[in-house]
Every structure is written in C-alpha cells, then in structure tokens.
A and B are shown apart, each in its own frame.
Chain A
C-alpha cells in the first residue's frame, strides 16, 4: 500500500515537473568567459543578465497569451573553437535550450554554427562578422554586419579620409575573423587603388607578442596606413611596438577593437586612431541611450559593442519566440522559431534597424569611430550599404 502510494507520488512528480519547466523559456549563451578575450564574454553576460532581470521583473515574456519566465544558461567556450563546439552540443542536447545566443567571435561561431544547424536549433551570433558563420545554414543568424561589408568600408575610409594610396595589413592568420577581414580589406583596397597597392600583407599566429619583424617589413614598404583587424588584447601590443619602431602614420582598426577593455590596456597610445564598428556609445539617443544609461548604472562602465549586439540578438530571439505558438515539443518549437526569425522585418535594434536576408544576415549600417583624447569612442562617420 505504502509502496503504491510512493510510486504514485513519484509518477505525479514526474508528470508535474515538465509542466513547471514549460513556464520557462530557456536560452543558451555560448560565450568566452575565460581564455583570450574574457572581457567579451563578460560584456555579453552582463547584457543578458540585464535583459533577463528587466523582463522577469515585469512578469516574463508573453507568448500566445501565457507568461513565461526567462531562464538563461551560460556556457564558457574558453575562446576556443573546440570548446565552442562542445558548449553548443551541451546547451542543445543536455540543457534543451530553445535557442542559442553566441558564440561571439568567428573562430568559435563558424564551428558552433555547424553544430547548431545539424542539431536544428536556432542560433544567433551577435558579433561574428565572417560570412562562413551563416552560409548555407538556415538555422544560423547573426546580429551584425558582414566582413564583406566591413572590409570595403574600411578600405574606402582609408582611401578617402587618409588619402592613402598604399596600405599595409597585419593580422593573425590562425584566426577566422582577422584572416577573412584582412583578405576582404585587401581585395577592396586594391579595387580602389589598383593591384599591388596593399604593399605589405604581414601575418602572425595567435598568442604572439613580438611583431618587430613584421613591423620592420611594414615600415620598409612605405605604406600610408596600417590596417589591423585584431582583438583588444593584441591591439595595444601592435600599436605600442609600431610606435616604438617609428611608425607615425594612421592605424585603422575593425569592430573587434571595440569589444573588451581596449583603452584600459592601451592607454594614451591608441588615442587618435579610427576603427569601424557597430555603434558609438558617445552621443547616442533614444532606446540606445536608455540601454547605455541602465547598463552603466548597473555595471559602472559604458557598454561596448558586444554588450549592445548581445542585447539586440537576444531581443531578436525573444521577438521570434513571441511570434510563434509554443507547443512544448522542443524540436517543433525550434523549427518554428527559426522560421519566425527569418521573417523578421525592420526590427528596431539599439544598434540600428535590422531585416534578415535569406542567408540570415541583417542589413545594417556601420559606424566609423575615432578614439578621442578622453579615450572615448566618438562618432566620426556612418556608412550604410547601398
């Protein structure tokens, strides 16, 4: 008798648990909390926590007349491609998330995107600009522009603003993002200034700290501008060494400069340089300003582009979830969310309006910022796709 009672109780408990779980929407975050670029992971997590608190305090997300609380699972990908893959698999199969946000950099987003697509789970990478991330993957989206747009933007800016006829490029050949962007920049610059106008195309390998041999070649080449699409932990070393070897011409960066604590590591040496990015925090208006104020109040620092893009990407995912009818069957819901994401038009993001192309890439504008004397990234120029 007693045993039957226990068994019944256990059965009821088993039946009830999924019903409880149904009231929560579970999203996974595949982000670099340790490794080479931990500040990027921290920004993403801060931004996600802020959004979760805001929505949960208001009673949750309303989908089909029912309120759901948000549940975010953070998985560290250590800024490594193989860890991003296992983190993606764990989030999808073990945690059974409805959708995945991240990974941030292309090195991790390209392999993780493949896993997400194979396991038929919608993924949106906030910060990965390499075209391969979303290419031929219906389940994979991104929250930012592409390198095929960023490269030409940087090349055009260098030619027009600096009057550069010859350019040098220094990049990490072992990482997807710098490699792809360096090649896009080279192609675009040579299209404007003729073949051979990229006079030095120098490479290094992740974790290198000494660039003296490459910089010697760059100085010898007589280039007018140095383009270096590297992350915030490498840029200070490159900039400082270039200066100590006598480089006094402009250095142009890419959106990776904005993620993480660039100014804390670089100090005065980086002031006065320009880089292409997603948004400028200084002088923002409307919803963007609201987000910046709230973020700065909570964490005591200005949100970088990673924080802003994670905010937008998570909101995009939630918007898609709002547009579907949740059935409780994870596989069916994931497929429905994917279709909903693909059909989003003119989403009002804080980094600009977004509509997805059939490839899962948003059409949006790029911003060129200048690092001013106070070390702030101030708006310099906006470039939109035509």
Chain B
C-alpha cells in the first residue's frame, strides 16, 4: 500500500513536471504583457517536433557527423531545440502580436489571435508532415531502478530535476536580474516604462525567448518520455497547463510551478484510486473549489484589470 502510494507520488511528480514547464511559459508572457498566449501549448508541440528533427539529423550513420554517441546528441539537442523553439515563439510575437500591440487594440483581440496562431501551428504541421505519428528515437538508455518496491527510471528523475532547475532559474531571472525587473515593470505601467529608457520591445522578445525556449525543453523531455508525436499533442496539455497556471495564480512564477505539480498530483491520484473516467471531473472540481476560495490563485496578487 505504502510503496504504491510513493510510486504514485513519483508518477505525479513526473507528470506534473510537464504541466509546470508549460505553465511557466504561460506565466512569463502573462506576467509581462497581461496576454494569455493560447498558442503556447502548440509551441510546445512544435518544440517536440523540432526535437525530433534535430535528434534525427544528428543521430545515426547518416547524421551530420556519422556515428555520434547518443549522449553527445542529447547534449547538443537541448540548446539547439531551445534556441529553435524560441525562434518560433519570437516569430509569432513579431508576425502576430506586435502589429496588433502597435495599433493599440484591445487585449481581447490579441488573445483571439493567439488562439488562431495555435490552430495555424497545429494544422500547418498536419498539412506539411501529414497525420502519421512520428516515433521519437531513444537518446537515453533507460535503466529501471527498484528500491523497496518503488521503481523509477533515470529519465523520470531527470525530468523532475529539469523542471525544478528551470523553476529556480526562471525565478532567479525574474526576481534578481535587471532584465527581470524590467519585465515586471512593463506589466505595471507600459506607458511609463519607455520613458525610463527601457527598450520595451527587446524585453518582450526576451520574454518570448524564455517562455518558448522552456516550452521547447518541455517538448524534448515529453518526446523522450512519451515517444509518439502527433500534431494535436500540445492542445489538451496546453489547456490544462494554462488552468494550472491560473490556479497557481497567473503571473506568479511560484504559482505556475506549484499549480503544475498540483494538477499532476490530483490527476494521478484520482486515476490511482477511482475509475479513470472520473479523472477530469474530480480534478477540475478540486481546482474549481480552490479558485472559489482564492480567486487570484494560490500565489496570485489581486489586480484591478484581468482578462
């Protein structure tokens, strides 16, 4: 009984890690622009596909450098995937969001644009690569460890560690650095900030680089853990991560992190003890109760305007 419970806590930590990593991206963009970037789940999907193409082109006899060992492929993939996915995020910002922001339209229109961008990414992928699933190659020989009836793999531990480290890093950037201070300042008053000599557009681009880069990292880890890729893989998990970010208190890095793990924990525990059909029902009922009691989320601060 006890080992089953500990096993499920481990499962929940792994599953929650993905929600957390994606929720962090939602939270960063929201924290600066007060924009809910609904394309974020699909940026995560694009990240997984980029990871697929990067590792396929590095791996094997026909790779760029033939016979490269898998650990080197993995080490090279991580920064490459993050940079390329960040470029996708920045492109979306430049092509879709910035022109609208320049025109000074209501934020609602930007949110709708984000939704459309997500659909364009999904269906663009479907049109270009077809509906067939892609199988992600093994970059990492998984070893199963068993301690006292609780089994885990090195990959599982790595996923959880990466999620925690990403959180620590992002929190450090936002709270301790100058650029982080500028990010927070923009969300307070985007009219006064340029007058202080802060380059608003560069800061916004930097925010998208961070958010999308970590979505790419999440995509790579997700593809390694669940090695079957399809164009719609980002939609549902993106929605759920968004809800996790809201429950945690959207705009708060700590909130996004905690919210992701909370959702992962609730989902796994419901499946472990109830029929799986009840999972979303019970999970979201619990989240609804949390939001009713604390409408700004676990770590949120009340603001005057919200979308």
Contact = CB atoms under 8 A, between A and B. Distances in A.
B131 A236 contact: no
Contacts of B146: 246
A340 to B, nearest CB: 36
A203 interface: yes
Nearest to B155: A244
A219 B11 CA distance: 14
Interface residues of A, number: 37
Nearest to A208: B276
A265 B277 contact: no
Contacts of A244: 142, 144, 153, 155-156
A237 B11 contact: no
A267 B135 contact: yes
A265 B228 contact: yes
Contact of B133 (A214, A219, A220, A265): A265
B228 A213 contact: no
A311 B223 CA distance: 36
A236 B229 CA distance: 11
Contact of A220 (B4, B11, B126): B4
Interface in B210-238: 226-228, 230, 232-233, 236
B15 interface: yes
Contacts of B138: 267
B272 interface: yes
A42 B131 CA distance: 10
A33 B133 contact: no
A209 B275 CA distance: 16
Contacts of A349: none
A204 B280 CA distance: 11
Contacts of B230: 36, 233
A233 B228 contact: yes
A233 B133 contact: yes
Interface string B279-298: 11000000000000000000
A173 B276 contact: yes
Contacts of B144: 243-246
A2 interface: no
Q: What are the 4 closest A-B residue pairs judged by CB atoms, nearest first?
A: A38-B131, A212-B11, A213-B271, A246-B151
Interface of B: 4, 7-8, 11, 14-15, 126, 130-133, 135, 138, 142, 144, 146, 151, 153, 155-156, 226-228, 230, 232-233, 236, 268-269, 271-272, 275-277, 279-280
8 contacts: A204-B271, A205-B280, A212-B14, A213-B268, A213-B269, A217-B272, A233-B230, A264-B135
Interface of A: 33-36, 38-39, 42, 173-174, 202-205, 207-210, 212-214, 216-217, 219-220, 233, 236-237, 240, 243-246, 261, 264-267
Given A219-B151, A265-B228, 6 more contacts: A34-B126, A213-B8, A214-B271, A237-B226, A237-B228, A244-B144
